[in-house]
Chain A
Amino acid sequence: MKILLAYSERDLLQGLTGLLKMDGHEVQSVFDGPQASALLARSETALLITEEALPGIRLEQLLDAAEEKRIPSVVITRHRVTVSHLLQAALPSAFLPLPFLPEDLRRTVADVSGRAAEARRIAVGPLSVDVQSFRFAGTSVRLTAGEIGLLEQLDRGDRVGGRAARTRIAALNEKFRLLGSPVRIEYEMEKGYRMVTGND
């Protein structure tokens, strides 16, 4: 897979480039926004991995450019991913918080690229999720791969929990509310989280 990797810190850029190449990917590495933007426009990139504050460009600009070309994106962030991150309009397909292990990078790349290749929808009450475009179908509200994964787990009846799951659930419930959907994700003792609709 052709990956565009944009990071301003040389050592990290080299390290990640090496890892991704060893995993069999074709990697184009750039240090700043203008270079990233130019390559995004010109070449056939399958995945964009970028830092949150890439010099020379606003993140929203870069993500919108990727979105226009239907290129999934991963944003490497120095911060913990919070509900605020998941509610921003220009949402990447995934966040990768620093510090991360090589397996975290690998898992995220596989997850995002795998979903981007799936022409599939998931029903969520009256709404449906267009997995390939990482958004609620027919809306501009985006989702991350993590949120989509959580919806799939709930659909299967899997038990979910932990800080990351709670963050995603809080963000999803807010997105349901914004879309006027009666669906909510609630917790039941000994049953765990489940999706409920309206007056359940």
Chain B
Amino acid sequence: MIKARKRFVLYTVITVFVVLTVLLGIINAVNFTAVSEDADFLTLSISEGRGHFAQGHPGREGRELFFRGGPPTDDRLMGPDSPEMGASLRYFTYAFDQSGTAEKIAFAISAVSETEAEEWARSLLSETDTGWTGSVYRYRIYKSGGKTFVTVIDQSRELKGFYRILTISCIGLAAGLAISFLALTLLGRKLFVPLEEADRKQKRFIADAESEFKIPLTVINADTEMIEREHGESEQTQSINRQVRRMVGLVRDLGTAGVFDDPQAARLTFDLAAMAREIGDSARDRLEARNCTLSIEADAPVRITGDSEAMGTLLTELMDNAVKFARTRVCLRVDSDEGHHRIIVSNDTDLPDGSVDQAFDRFTRLENAGDVPGVGLGLSHVREIVQAHNGRASARVENGEFTVRINL
């Protein structure tokens, strides 16, 4: 359950990261596009003025809007349409004839000299019609009167605003991630505490039920035998014996749940394939009695370090499950691939195709369980063992084949 909580926090933080990145990305992209469009509007205006910026005259209405005071209500007064733009725009225009001779058309810039500006304009002749150059400058190339004009305008102020917003976006993204991580970590505890408590209670109930039944069952057994030896067998004592034996079997099944939580379980190095061969082989008689075939592919050694007890239980539970529900065949395979170990157990089935991971839930039996004995704990034990070994378990039905895959 702790792993589930960590996964919840991780996936939620990733989701928040993706959403924020996409949103802020869109905002900044739109912002940058607007800056580029405004710059293109200016270079277009200059190109219409044959290299010179024509100042706008907003007219009486515009002047009234401008001098009204208070926050501006008309975009034209704030953007490239502003009547003050001509005074603030820094730019230069050079025209080149077919022989490559340059003519200075306009020069209203302080950052570069006329010579540098000419060389710069010349270097742009082979570029596309419009674009960014020198990181904060926008250029336009256009033809007029047999000459090629190059206009370069300074957009450092406009880009400063863009970069400010971009920086705030990045800081906001990092802060958002940090805050959501902290909030989820703190809230996650509250959210998952009831679930974890329920899971613990279920495990405790199983352990307690298993533990508390053991002594009474043994006492009933012992006392029943003494009654039989003193007074002879009767239908009632035989019935008691039958039911007690049945409960002993159930309690022993429940008892396997405690094995995997033992932190002091011996960790030994052993050959998983050899263990699989033995456990698989031991199921052969049961399968042959039902005219079912068994194939085992576990020839190459697969050495692992872990709880051999638990792995033996895992293989036994997998085989028991396959043997119980197989119609005609069971396959067991154990192999290794680049350090990852695999156990695959499959049997033919009449279940519909699809994922059946719910088979790993405690006390869950699939629709084909019918009258087959069992309480639905076997595969849940399998999952617990796999998780204790940091592995993954999955179950799927495909083309009439029920397959459990374990990756360790």
> Does B218 lie within 8 Å of A83, measured CB to CB?
no
**What are 13 A-B residue pairs whose CB atoms fall within 8 Å in the complex?**
A19-B222, A22-B229, A79-B258, A80-B256, A83-B265, A98-B215, A99-B213, A99-B214, A102-B222, A163-B313, A170-B266, A170-B308, A173-B270
Interface digits, B256-286 against A, CB 8 Å rule (1 contact, 0 not)?
1011001011101011001101100110000
CB distance from B360 to the nearest CB of A (A): 21
Whether B289 sits at the interface, judged by CB under 8 Å, is: no
* Separation of A102 and B221 alpha carbons in the complex (Å): 7
Contact flag A187-B266 (CB < 8 Å), given A15-B223, A16-B222, A163-B313: no
**CB-CB contacts of A68-106 with B at 8 A, as 1s and 0s?**
000000000011101110010000000000111110010
Determine the chain A residues whose CB is within 8 A of the CB of B196 once the complex forms. Answer: none
In the bound complex, residues from chain B placing their C-beta under 8 Å from that of A98 are: 214-215, 217-218
Q: Are A167 and B309 in contact (CB under 8 A)?
A: yes
- B106 / chain A contacts, CB cutoff of 8 Å: none
**Contacts between the two chains (Cβ within 8 Å), count:** 103
Chain B residues within 8 Å of A22, by CB = 226, 229
Q: Smallest Cβ distance from A10 to chain B, in angstroms? A: 10
- B380 adjacent to chain A (CB < 8 Å): no
* 8 Å CB contact of A170 from B222, B226, B270, B277: B270
* A126 at the binding interface (Cβ < 8 Å): no
Residue B204 CB within 8 A of the other chain = no
Count B interface residues, CB 8 Å: 40
Residue from A78, A105, A193 whose CB has the most chain B CB atoms within 10 Å: A78
- Return the chain A residue nearest B227 by Cβ: A18
Cβ contacts under 8 Å, A99 to chain B:
213-215, 217-218, 221, 248, 251-252
Would B281 and A83 count as touching, CB distance under 8 A?
no
Chain A 86-130 interface 0/1 with B at a Cβ cutoff of 8 Å (1 = within): 010000000000111110010000000000000000000000000
* B274 contacts across to A, CB distance below 8 A: 186-187
Which A residues lie within 8 Å of B218 (CB)? 12, 15, 98-100
Does B349 sit within 8 A of A, measured CB to CB?
A: no
Closest to B228 in A: A102
Q: Note all chain B residues with C-beta closer than 8 A to A170.
A: 266, 268, 270, 308-309
- Whether A161 and B278, one on each chain, are in contact in the complex, defined by CB atoms closer than 8 angstroms, is yes
Q: How far is the CA of A102 from the CA of B256 in the complex (A)?
A: 22
Q: Is A190 an interface residue (CB 8 A)?
A: yes
* In the complex with contacts A12-B218, A12-B219, A84-B266, A101-B248 CB distance below 8 A: yes
Taken together as a complex, chains A and B put the C-alpha atoms of A18 and B258 apart, in Å, by 31
Q: How far is the CB of B211 from chain A (nearest CB, A)?
A: 6
| B223 / chain A contacts, CB cutoff of 8 Å | 15, 18
Q: Which of B266, B277, B296 contacts A82 (CB 8 A)?
A: B266
Q: Which of B214, B248, B275 has most A Cβ within 10 Å?
A: B214
Query: At the interface, yes or no: B245 with Cβ under 8 Å from chain A?
Result: yes
Interface SS majority for chain B = helix
Residue ranges of A at the interface with B (Cβ–Cβ < 8 Å): 9, 11-12, 15-16, 18-19, 22, 78-80, 82-84, 87, 98-102, 105, 161-163, 166-167, 170, 173-174, 186-187, 189-190, 192-193
The answer to whether B58 has its CB under 8 Å from any CB of chain A is no
Specify the chain B residue showing the minimal Cβ separation from A81.
Answer: B309
CB-based contact A190/B268 at 8 Å: no
Q: How far is the CB of A185 from chain B (nearest CB, A)?
A: 10
Residues of B within 8 A of A (CB): 211, 213-215, 217-219, 221-223, 225-226, 229, 245, 248, 251-252, 255-256, 258-259, 262, 264-266, 268, 270-271, 274-275, 277-278, 281-282, 296, 308-309, 312-313, 316
* Cβ-defined contact, B222 with A78, below 8 A: no
CB distance from A168 to the nearest CB of B (A): 11
B308 touches A166 (CB 8 A): yes
* Given A82-B262, A102-B221, A186-B271, 6 more pairs with CB closer than 8 A: A19-B222, A19-B225, A98-B217, A99-B214, A100-B218, A161-B281
Contacts of A105 in B (CB 8 A): 222
Q: What is the CA–CA distance of A19 and B223 in the complex, to the nearest angstrom?
A: 8
Among A84, A87, A98, which residue has the most Cβ atoms of chain B within 10 A? Answer: A98
Residues of A within 8 A of B275 (CB): 166, 187
How far apart are the CA atoms of A161 and B285 in the complex, in Å? 13
B255 touching A80 by the CB < 8 A rule?
yes
Chain A residues positioned under 8 Å from B313 (CB to CB): 163
- Bound-state CA distance A186–B226 (Å) is 43
Residues of A within 8 A of B255 (CB): 79-80
Given contacts A9-B215, A193-B278, contact A163 B268 (CB under 8 A): no
Q: How far is the CA of A46 from the CA of B322 in the complex (A)?
A: 47
Contact A83 B309 (CB under 8 A): yes
Look across to chain A and name the residue whose beta carbon is closest to the beta carbon of B255: A80
B318 to chain A, nearest CB (A): 14
> Is A82 in contact with B278, judged by CB distance below 8 angstroms?
no
Q: Do the beta carbons of B316 and A190 come within 8 Å of each other?
A: no
A187 to B274 Cα, complex, angstroms:
6
A5 to B215, CA, bound (A): 16
Q: Which residues of A lie under 8 Å from residue B258 when comparing CB positions?
A: 79-80
Could you say which of A15, A79, A173, A193 contacts B222, with CB atoms under 8 Å apart? Answer: A15
For A12, the chain B residues whose CB sits under 8 A away are 215, 218-219, 222
> Is A187's CB under 8 angstroms from B277's CB?
yes
Asked if A101 contacts B268 (CB within 8 A), the reply is no
Nearest CB of A to B242, in Å: 12
Task: Answer whether A84 and B268 are a contact pair too, CB < 8 Å, given A102-B222, A163-B316, A190-B281.
Answer: no
